[in-house]
Structure 1
Amino acid sequence: MELDGARLTCGQVHEAGYGGARVTIASLDRARAAWATAQGLTGPVYGKSTGVGANRDVLLEGGGLDLLRSHACGAGPPVEPARARAMLVVRLNQFLAGGSGVDPAVCSVLAYAINHGYTPPLRTYGAIGTGDLTALAITALCLLGELPWHHDGSPGEGPPRHALVSADALPFISSGAATLADAAIACHRLRHLLDAAVEVAALSFAAVDASAEPVAAVVQEARPHPGQAVVAESLRGRLAHEPATRVQDPYGFRAFPQVHGAAVDALGRAVTTIETDLNAATENPLIAGGLAWHNGNFHAAAVALALDALRAALVQTAQLSTARLATLMDPAYTGHLPFLGDRPGASGVLILEYVAQDALADLRHLANPVTTGTAVISRGAEDHAAFATQAARHTLRCLEPLEIVLACERTAAVRALHGSGPDRPLTGDLEESRRAVSGAATRT
């Protein structure tokens, strides 16, 4: 995977984190240009000749490495190495975009770490959407040899080392790379889950002989939302176009393109927002045009808002899945016994509704917007926070419950279509459906 600071995608971040993809560097030209400019700067430069936060007006001589030591203080459960590796890829790509002023030699060292399985020992808590300072400070101390790397791969020539100097401290950590990595991973997997949802819905359509009229081209052309059109076309290709058995089906079928299409659109907006930042110079100060520009590009409000909208949309599409699941329990639609039981009075797959509603409850909880809150810290110098970090973390957590909801619907639809003897355990069917739903989402 060649990194050039301009074309990194969510899929590539996932592939580097979980697929073990090796990285190469296309060019260090922009990183070198920013570093050369930084070397010649005079006057007060935030984080280089001054303190940070409320100490921004305090002039310092050196001491930048103390900034790393004071900020390397994450807490909570360890972050899995794949997510930490994805963070390294994002930060390396941002350095290549130029604007940080960090020593460009660090880029090759980060590439070495990625390619030989070295990741920093990150912790879950420590950022509020204005920069992943703790995660990157820990990474910097690993480079300095003050903290041990986690290692899972070929040893190469030993642990990555780079003698960061005082002027490199803030430029190295001034980024939301960990948040962006989590967001990219979540969006990549959600794309596959949303595609799988169309396949699951098609099984339910077939199981209840639902009308294909709602996905007809003439219907969709009358309301041309992009996601709706994509979902309708995909579902239309999977359905048998036979005369409708009912005048109108429940919303779980009739409104599927509209509801699921909105989730597809929300995902598209989130991906666009995230990929913009994956390839952006979100540095403060930004080293460009011969000067240091103090700015707020590090603030991740756009990412947080996009992910809040995405999680809300996931709840809508999961609710529609549980609605179809309820229809699959009804003899009036399936022609089978209630709950798809194998004999009168049997509970059949009734328990799937409980499982799906449990998972849906978690999705609703995770959909609570993070952007309605804020924080004022550092003696008021930093008086707003996006909480994009929490938005990305919650979006990652949505993967499992959404997968379970879809697996419950798929299990019921398959039983309605093909039946199942009483000796076959339902747990096995549900796990098979989970594998079917998640298979594409776990492949890079």
Structure 2
Amino acid sequence: MGRTTKVSGTVTVPGDKSISHRAVMLASMAEGQSRIRGFLPAEDTLRTVGMMIALGVDLQERSPTEILVRGGGMRSFVEPQDVIDAGNSGTSIRIGAGILAAQPFLSIVTGDPYLRRRPMGRIVTPLTRMGAVITGRRENTLPPLCIRGGNLRGIRYEMPVASAQVKSSILLAGLYADSPVTVAEPFPSRDHTERMLLSMGARVVQEGNEVTVHPPERLRPLSMTVPGDISSASFFMVLAACVPGSTLHIPSVGVNPGRTGLVSVLRRMGADVRFASPREEGGEPVADIVVHGRGLGAAEVPPEEVPSLIDEIPALCVAASMAEGRTEIRGATELRVKESDRIGAMVKELSALGVSCGEYPDGLWVHGPARIAPGTEVESHGDHRIAMSLMVLSAAAGVPVKVSDTACIATSFPGFPEALREVAR
């Protein structure tokens, strides 16, 4: 099996997608002017910008990565004149629904064919319990969603599955409730929303796996620089870790503890991954990531670890394909309802490439090291993370693989193919 002979240099990843979405939404709810630097100008995040503009928010683009938001306060939104199109962005529709559920008007949100297949019952149930009226296809579980908001009541909601999107949707609706709102998760998920709310003056209390938001009178404007996206960095971390002798630097990446599960697993597999110059920016921990490549061994990923690497599992499958032994991931049912069925998609495409692998209802296993079949054509399933993972596997193995429908990569990482070619030679 051939391999990429060298992975070296420095690669800069775009701003964090999760934080970019949240920064635009919360700045729109604040009183006064907010400035967001390092914004990710990708298809998904621009859908959130479009949603806020449809609600009457004054947003100005100083540059593709810097946005000024002149918020009129939590109760300044106006009824949208048309249907809001969230495109392929689950974050826009799910977290945005929490804001829309509190507004005294009607909103309709739809998306592209992929988004219209994704389950929305997980937000409809708690938001309805709070007092919103939400209807949708297939017994109110699929988009488009018709949301008639209004007076909301405080609730305590126990989430059956850990999800930062669902948690954030409930918390943002809770800002408008008549009493505190508490969300309990089976395992902790990323806490970008909670950190941002605290920096804007809201009272947010974390106790174990429970978080409570107290309805504020107002939110202070936001001024922050969005760190690099660790989900985007994951593809390059995996690539460098898989190729012995590699040294790769990825500067200014957000290393929120709720997002660094991949780093922990790669280290267990034998990878040398280090955080250099750790610091804090805008309430978020940031570091420069340095990866030195060497041989990898298999690892097990238990259910409690999954929320901290849910978006990175396709990339982890690449590392598992190149590692010695059987890697197993369980408790990842959430992957079935992402932009694609990521469990089924990765098993199908890895198998087509000659990788020994299989799936469970809640996860998958991969046995490496694989001998990748050259010249094979594989599918992205319209999923940006599947597309990028398969391209990284091709680069790490040093074997040409054709990935179909890579336009979806623009939803999170415009310029990824060029960045990959720059560091993998």
Q: TM-score, normalised by structure 2?
A: 0.26
Compare the two structures and name the one with the higher strand fraction. 2
Compare the two structures and name the one with the higher helix fraction. 1
Q: Which has the higher contact order (CA 8 A, sep 6+)?
A: 1
* Structure ID, larger Rg: 1
